[in-house]
Chain A
């Protein structure tokens, strides 16, 4: 597809969604149902090209030779047939070998066939946090370490500043609170920063044992009769104290947004207790449950930009069989996410773009750790770990297009931010700030 044609289609989709009626739920806020929306999947803790895009399964990792050991274990995302022997990545059947029953596909057409796959993209580094920072900022300036926020603005900050978005229109859903994941919702850049940050939620904690114990039964006060009075008194007390602090309370939602989020949290606890969270059909790991809660966030807030981070694949450090299982489940999660958007959220169906990109790959050679199947594990520290892919689907995106190859890499991890910026119509403003990597371009510009 020509660039001009793509832009025309994006504009048409935007206009169409703007004029379509959107549903109002009981909350006091007007819901922002207009497209385009972006769901970005940070996929999913260090994914080796060999087992993902190259579909080599056990051939390029455990030395097993033959077509039975090759194949696609990510069939919601990628085209290609599955392996036929030594299947360990599925669910446990009632009888038979553990993991020998692959999870049924969710999408009738893979995302690759619905969109564009950049088969060989270059990552900036081989660390999770630095990779995630590059995905979020489009910058490879990641000399800051863990426990520090990104130095350059995230896509959330660009979008909130240039599109005047509310905080509840941008969400980062973390797989947990470790590895500085909660710091990825905004940078500490002086021109952007906390005032333009996204809401962050880590469902495994917020709705986990900690949330059950400490906020499940939080009162939702009446917005006028109770909360209004509380905030009036608080304002007086704050004015009397009159302090300023840089990072006092994280990002700030308006009073109305806070009330909306409280209602969402209460409702989500109800759903959780009723077993009604929109989890994928199989939800036996943390990534799958995180995606289930992400679906709830999408359904409630219809955000402009949602980023969800998965990382269960990182078990590849010490258990290759678990790595395969979690890679298969990460694909299941993405398939579910896309299907849920298209079938359960009318305001986002047809105007949402899904982008999936690993933060880095994994090594060419294994370490010495054997798992229960006597298979070797893989860390992420060599050049092979800088090999990743990117998959984009959504209105106007070329269908069934593959770009680049092993011998012809096309694309860079820093392209993700400009791609999202292009979809949102703020690419030139983002480029104008001069804070993304100098070699970053929109993936659409690489077609």
Chain B
């Protein structure tokens, strides 16, 4: 009888003493400590870059024939950045290119910036990037979506994945 009482006392003690602590919450959001682009360290091949660029600007895949021609074109010009700029600016003259309207961009700059980062970099902008771009676009009302897309397309991050 004494033994049973001891066991019951032990069970009751364990059950009452093993309550899980509630986690303490301080209202902080979890966030990455590295920039979202830090893992992009592989350079795209010209073919990869052009394929992605084409999709970004025309929202369809580039044809194989066009891809081959563009790769040859890139090899025919020594300054590759210049060659890319020529190709991009030629795309911008193409009636099929799909760009946001100027008014839509101005109506919601935050969303435009978010969408542009996602489109070209496949990531959201950091707070710093969001603020800088917003300020820059607000202070330069003559900047069109075309110029923004151009800048993103020729920026370093667009050449890496």
Partner-B contacts on A (CB < 8 A): 167, 172, 174, 177, 182, 185, 197-206, 209-211, 213-221, 225-226, 229-234, 236-238, 240-241, 243, 245, 248-253, 258, 261-262, 265
Contact = CB atoms under 8 A, between A and B. Distances in A.
Nearest to A266: B86
A206 B79 contact: no
Nearest to A258: B82
30 contacts: A177-B72, A177-B75, A185-B78, A202-B75, A202-B77, A205-B72, A205-B76, A210-B70, A211-B76, A214-B66, A215-B90, A216-B90, A217-B93, A218-B87, A219-B92, A231-B151, A233-B155, A236-B136, A237-B155, A237-B157, A238-B157, A241-B157, A243-B160, A248-B43, A248-B80, A249-B84, A251-B78, A253-B82, A258-B85, A265-B86
User: How would you classify the secondary structure of chain B's contact residues: helix, strand, loop or mixed?
Assistant: helix
B150 interface: yes
Contacts of B35: 240
Contacts, number: 150
B73 A205 contact: yes
A177 B92 CA distance: 27
A262 B86 contact: yes
A234 B41 CA distance: 19
Contact of B156 (A182, A199, A237): A237
Contacts of A217: 90, 93
Nearest to A174: B76
B109 interface: no
A210 B69 contact: yes
B64 interface: no
Nearest to B35: A240
Contacts of B92: 219
Interface of B: 35, 37, 40-41, 43, 66, 69-70, 72-73, 75-87, 89-90, 92-93, 126, 128-129, 132-133, 136, 140, 142-143, 147-148, 150-152, 154-157, 159-160
A312 B65 CA distance: 26
B157 A182 contact: no
Given A216-B90, A262-B86, A210 B76 contact: yes
Contacts of B86: 215, 218, 262, 265
A202 B81 contact: no
Contacts of B83: 215, 250
Contacts of B75: 177, 182, 202, 205
A249 B41 CA distance: 16
